[in-house]
A and B are shown apart, each in its own frame.
Chain A
Amino acid sequence: MRKYEYITVLGYNTIQLPFSKLKQYGPIISVSSHKEEMQHLDYVWTRQEKDLLWYLQQKPSPVDCVTTPELYKKYVFYDEVHSFPPISPQFNLTLDINTDDQTLALLSAIGLCDKRVLLVGYDISDLRILKDLRSVIMLHPDMKFYFLCNPPKTKQLDYCSNAECILFKDMEKLKND
């Protein structure tokens, strides 16, 4: 499969922007909590079997799910179930059972994309999530990360040269990038 140039990672937070508009910026990979907008999602990261089954049962077309190796083994004959990409241990990024779903959705997105990642509704209030986000950004210097939010702009990613905070009202300019 050819990699996408752009991809959007949808975190836990609800957003006011219509998903149909968000789709204009590339495929969307989401955590599993945005079920009501499932028709706009291209991929979902989930580690819960009941969520996996819910997304697989949607008509007319189920959503592609990225999941844990354990669930993948069980649902390998479902075409829409994909295993998490193999990740070698990397500096300053510890992946374990407590790793947040947003981080895993982001890593999945990086496996599918090679140029630009939009982080939308991405909750960084938890310090571990923020630390993991910074680590992921720094481990991929050849990619550009845009953190979308409402005012005021966060300064948490200021020292990551390949990350930028963009306000939702200014996101149109990303179309020209």
Chain B
Amino acid sequence: MTDRPDRINYIVKILWPPHCRNRNQKVLEERADIVKEMNGMRSKLENFLKASCSGSYKVSNEYDMQGFNIGLEMGPDVYNLVLEQATIGYEVSREIGRYNIFSDKYIKHKILYTAKGIVID
């Protein structure tokens, strides 16, 4: 992951609902209900970010078979996004990207849920 857009320090992937994942284009063309659900989830996330983020954020327009990326400026917003997944009804991928000032790249880290909070591996 490279080419940091302005002020985006973290990249988090939001996973589609389980039954929407790994669907190829042909299936999606035939199943408008699934596409509607995916778009609805994206809108829901966008509304949640609008209401809860104190820093800037960007929802990617690119979809893949697992989910879509969200770029966030501030760490507490990322923490909140990870914490609220059960409440709002989405699933965050276990891998997050954090911008590294030395390498000018997003470094991937695995999220760990511990008794003391959310850390990385």
A positions within 8 Å CB-CB of B: 1, 64, 73-74, 76-79, 82-83, 85-86, 108, 111-112
Nearest residue, chain B, Cβ from A64? B101
Cβ of A73: which chain B residues have Cβ within 8 Å of it?
109, 119-121
CB within 8 A of B103: which of A74, A79, A86?
Answer: A86
Q: Give the number of A-B contacts (CB < 8 Å).
A: 38
Contact: A77 with B76, CB < 8 Å? yes
Contact: B119 with A112, CB < 8 Å? no
Contact: A112 with B75, CB < 8 Å? no
Q: Can you list 29 residue pairs at the A/B interface with Cβ under 8 Å?
A: A1-B4, A1-B104, A64-B101, A73-B109, A73-B120, A73-B121, A74-B119, A76-B75, A76-B98, A76-B109, A76-B119, A76-B120, A77-B75, A77-B76, A77-B78, A77-B118, A78-B75, A79-B73, A79-B74, A79-B75, A82-B100, A82-B101, A83-B107, A85-B100, A85-B102, A86-B103, A111-B102, A112-B101, A112-B102
Say which size band chain B's interface belongs to.
Answer: 20 to 34
Nearest residue, chain B, Cβ from A81? B75
A76 to B109, CA, bound (A): 10
Cβ of B74: which chain A residues have Cβ within 8 Å of it?
79
The 6 closest A-B pairs by CB, nearest first: A77-B75, A85-B102, A111-B102, A77-B79, A76-B120, A79-B75
Nearest residue, chain B, Cβ from A76? B120
A78 to B100, CA, bound (A): 13
A79 to B101, CA, bound (A): 11
Nearest residue, chain A, Cβ from B80? A77
B69 at the A/B interface (Cβ < 8 Å)?
no
CB distance from A67 to the nearest CB of B (A): 12
A112 to B103, CA, bound (A): 9
Cβ of A64: which chain B residues have Cβ within 8 Å of it?
101
CB distance from B29 to the nearest CB of A (A): 40
A78 to B101, CA, bound (A): 14
CB distance from A112 to the nearest CB of B (A): 7
CB distance from A141 to the nearest CB of B (A): 20
A73 to B117, CA, bound (A): 11
Cβ of B107: which chain A residues have Cβ within 8 Å of it?
83
